[in-house]
Structure 1
Amino acid sequence: MRKQKRRFDDDDLDLTFEKSYSEEEEWDETSDKPETGDRWSTWDLSTPLERGPRPYPEWLVTELAAVDFEHGVLKTGKEADACLITRAVPGTDRSCMLVAKRYRSHDHRMFHRDSGYLEGRKDRASRVNRAMEKRTEFGKEAIAGRWAMAEFNSLILLWQTCQQLGIEPFVPYPVQILGTEVLMQYVGSPDGVAAERLATVRGDDADIADLWQQMLLALRVMSRAGYTHGDLSPYNILVHEGRLVVIDLPQIVDLVANPQGRRFLERDVHNVVTWFAARGVADLDEAALVGELLAEAGVR
């Protein structure tokens, strides 16, 4: 019997990049459905460039005989839902749990917050740029098409940056993207209970000082890569078995190309410093940290 899953949170989800999709993908609407499961694995439907970094993790199921089992929504927002699935090879012990982040059709999307994030992300086609700036129907679709790819690209960027620096990645592994669905590593217990949000962590249940050091490292790595989260808060940071994991990255902000980059960085730093300071972490200087991170990004 499936257990009821705890949601991560119900905050807005902002999305992003490169392709446009006018409709959501429809899966398995033919007679070629698996005998068990809700759909065949979509692994072979993504191109090599639409899959996560190599080498693929050992836990990841890439067999073409695999099927996906749906377990319901972990997190919902105005623009996307994060659903829990199991990808497994029937008759074997090969299986893994994944999060499928599914962006809804453009008719349900909200675009009141995206202009600041999108500065510095210009499309090569001037017609597309004009449409996005004017928020025409075509422009909205173009913006919506960017969000899913931006989330996937952001996860790849930060995962690979961590690997190059020889540190444990602080983001979920990006498995694949197909249309407006981004599949990523599930963070939680094997029985399907999602990892706790930092916002709900109690000081007597976790090493707050260690979590701050992990948070500081994540901020430095993002800055070294030239970016800031753009919407960082204790509600999109997970804590699982003492490990801090940053999620919801489609609105990642380029600190160099975006003229509002410093403002987004200052807000990100303020949100996390405020939370940790309220829980006893001493001597936190927001201004000094912002200056350090800008220097890390090469911004004067």
Structure 2
Amino acid sequence: EADVFLLERAVPDRPERTSILAAKRYRSSEHRQFHRDSTYVEGRRVRRSRDARALAKGTSYGRQVASGQWAQQEFAALTSLWTAGVPVPYPVQIDGTEILMEFIEVDGAAAPRLAPLRPPRDLLQPYLEQLSEAMAVLARLGWAHGDLSPYNILVQGERLVIIDLPQIVDIVSNPNGVDLLLRDCRNVCSWFGSRGLEVDAEKLLAELLAQAW
């Protein structure tokens, strides 16, 4: 899907003012391992007819357009969600197929993914509440993450940060939207269940859909 690099940005003539940022660069379609594009892009519109034709034909230009669309979609999602208070990396800028964003770190190293962790039991409920609220905000905006799992949730101490948002879907205009939202719920609830906190995925889905409509 994409490669992520770290880079240091400094203020000209102020070398002491630096920050480490994450640069996410999308691969062209022939180099991606993400083969379910059509599931997520249904309901999206392509403004330029030339781009739409190139995408439909699968030309080299069309593949370039597709990579740019994924980057633009993620940057737009990050911007909207950050503004809405969802815990996502702060989006800095976009340049073609590359997004520059906040580097989520713990003590100078990359924050770990939630998937392999076994946090203390007293953190499970707060983690669940954070994720449920984040998913509720997405639902109120009419969206589902579309590929939410413990592998794209970072742990920054007691705070969770959601990443990897290019496939964010409109749960109304995309015919797969509700199914993808249910899968998000099942992925999240399965992880909590494996750590000893049982959560009903269908109940969570119903609560989120109530937020959406």
Is the CA contact 1:111–1:140 (under 8 Å) kept in the aligned structure 2?
no
Aligned match of 2:3:
81
**TM-score, length-normalised on structure 2?**
0.91
User: Could you tell me how far 1:212 is from its partner in structure 2?
Assistant: 0.8
Q: Deviations over 1:176-204 (max 9, x none)?
A: 1112110111111353x100110122133
Q: Deviations over 1:216-267 (max 9, x none)?
A: 1111011111101111110000000210000000110111110110110010
* Structure 2 CA distance for partners of 1:142 and 1:92, relative to 1, 3 Å: closer
Does 1:239 pair with 2:149? Answer: no
1:89-238 equivalence runs, <5 A? 89=11, 91-110=14-33, 112-162=35-85, 169-191=86-108, 193-204=109-120, 207-238=123-154
Aligned match of 1:9:
none
Amino acid at match of 2:45: K
- What is the SS of the residue equivalent to 1:199? coil
Unaligned runs of 5+ in 1: 1-78, 163-168
- What is the SS of the residue equivalent to 2:197? coil
Amino acid at match of 1:149: Q
* Structure 2 CA distance for partners of 1:145 and 1:239, relative to 1, 3 Å: same
Is the CA contact 2:106–2:157 (under 8 Å) kept in the aligned structure 1?
no
Amino acid at match of 2:6: L
- What is the SS of the residue equivalent to 1:177? strand
Q: Deviations over 1:32-60 (max 9, x none)?
A: xxxxxxxxxxxxxxxxxxxxxxxxxxxxx
* Structure 2 CA distance for partners of 1:180 and 1:206, relative to 1, 3 Å: farther
Amino acid at match of 2:65: A
Is the CA contact 2:136–2:208 (under 8 Å) kept in the aligned structure 1?
yes
* Structure 2 CA distance for partners of 1:178 and 1:131, relative to 1, 3 Å: closer
Instruction: Provide the aligned C-alpha RMSD in A.
Output: 1.9
**TM-score, length-normalised on structure 1?**
0.66
User: Could you tell me how far 1:291 is from its partner in structure 2?
Assistant: 1.5
Does 1:256 pair with 2:172? Answer: yes
Unaligned runs of 5+ in 2: none
Amino acid at match of 1:233: S
- What is the SS of the residue equivalent to 2:84? helix
Amino acid at match of 1:85: L
Amino acid at match of 1:252: I
Question: Over alpha carbons, which structure has the higher Rg?
Answer: 1
Does 1:280 pair with 2:203? Answer: no
Amino acid at match of 1:147: W
Is the CA contact 1:234–1:271 (under 8 Å) kept in the aligned structure 2?
yes
- What is the SS of the residue equivalent to 1:93? strand
